[in-house]
Structure 1
Amino acid sequence: MADFIPTIRDLLYDSEAKAVGEFRGVAGPYWSLRPVCGGQEWEAAPENVRPATPAERLSSGTARANARSRGEAL
């Protein structure tokens, strides 16, 4: 299990999916993550997840802003 406990809306990096996601909760032994730009949640094994770095947070924020400008994100 990961050595930290995220809170809802924390940005995390899933090394298996190679993606940043927003923590949405726990689903059995997995953590539910949602793409920053919206979309379908996925389940990640806690041992494959770590807090997003500042660069990853900035990149995902930029991607969300771009998607919103195109009318793609909530």
Structure 2
Amino acid sequence: MKNKPSDLTNHLFVQMERLGVEGLPAEQIDNEVMRTEAIVSVSDQIIGNAHLQLKASKLFADHGAAVVPHLPMIGSATR
């Protein structure tokens, strides 16, 4: 995997710095706001996916392989 959770954190902080630049023209501020909204939207999806993976890991850790038949198969229409 090319990207790590720490990369997401770095991207978010870089964007915060871009938003904090003093004296930007209104058009550039609007562009940065749109960029920020896109970054936040993608970030929310990444974080949601990581949360789901964590929940699945915890379920497996708590109950072992017995839970596998009750989970949907990713990438497959059949079990």
TM-score (norm 1): 0.31
Higher strand share: 1
Greater relative contact order (Cα < 8 A, sep 6+): 1
Which protein shows a greater Rg?
A: 2
Q: TM-score, normalised by structure 2?
A: 0.30
